[in-house]
Amino acid sequence: MAREAGVSLGTASKALSCPDKVKPNTLKKVLEAVSAMGYVRNGVARSLAARKTWRVAVVYPTLKNPMFSNSIDSLQQSLLEMGYQLVIGSHEYNQKREVKVLQALVESGVDGVILVGTDHDDTVFQMLETYDIPYLMMWSTDETSYPHTIGFSNRQAAYEIARHVVAKGHRKAAICGGPAEGNERSRQRRAGFLDALEEASISVKPEWIIETQFSLDGGREAIKRLLAVGELPTVLICGTDLHAIGAMHQCQLSGIDVPGRLSITGFDDIEFASAMIPSLTTVRVPMHEIGVEVARTIVAIIDDGASVEAIELETLIIERESLKTLTEGKRGD
């Protein structure tokens, strides 16, 4: 290939490994030779020589939630631009399974690891320290002082949407969230909801604080439980859009008008949120921005040993049709 391009072996290697460090005309010759010969680089040999794999692993709680699957694109594309491949695993909200998934990824060879959330089994951190692999945590800045953390405060975002609900005149509120064990995002969203309601002197009945699986079925289950109690609140504040959309579907099946009889809010602003009828009031999470910042930061840590401070991004309340403003006489005080 070097002979075809009319350059030395060293120059050809540099053109492929560090294209920004060779002259444009030389780079053009090498790329033309690569194309003409159908040359494929030997990744194993390259990794052994450089003691790098140019691979970064990310372990998601699930790939079934559009929120996470949509975030993969910006993370993957950003890493590709910097010469790294993304390898993906998921553990379906099972911390013990996360340990096994991470071990398999680490043993396959990676230069860095990205974890979602801040609540993980101690074995995860011990493994990363044993293998001396740099890592960062994304999506949440709650419950940690670890500097390499990029995301947003779930508690603050939940507090803001609950304050918005209160401002709309609601005094009878129920909460639906995912399992809190092993998941600081669920814990902090529930805490943020309750912070805002308590601040407004609104007490929530224990049977109106509902924990269900992270799914459409979980949202449907929340409505069924509220109906079993025998009294509906005026609003159901959900910890994810999947919960909210599932709840809206069950309301349709049960003849409950949304938002006429029951208002519903979500959290994440997945694509389906705006397509619902009625469209869903929710919290927009900066999915794209998180992916870009995480990619930039993990590469800086891998390549330069950079020490970076935690990055906290902003969320945004997206008001749509599923949240009704109550008049003074309909607040249920």
Which residues of the chain are under the pLDDT cut of 70? Answer: 1-5, 7, 9-10, 12-22, 30, 34-35, 37-51, 328-333
In the prediction, which pLDDT does 7 show? 66
In the prediction, which pLDDT does 330 show? 59
- C-alpha distances in Å from residue 243, one per residue of 28, 39, 104, 191, 216: 53, 49, 32, 17, 5
Question: Who's near 287: CB < 8 A, 6+ residues apart?
Answer: 67, 70, 71, 74
> How many residues make up the chain in this entry?
333
- DSSP H helices, the chain, are 2-5, 9-17, 24-37, 43-50, 66-81, 95-108, 122-131, 154-167, 184-199, 216-229, 241-254, 271-275, 287-304
Helix axes 66-81 and 287-304, enclosed angle (nearest 10): 40
Distance between CA atoms of 103 and 53, rounded to whole angstroms?
Answer: 16
Q: What is the pLDDT of residues 167-212, one digit of tens each?
A: 999 999 999 999 999 999 999 999 999 999 999 999 999 999 999 9
- H or E element in which residue 258 lies: none
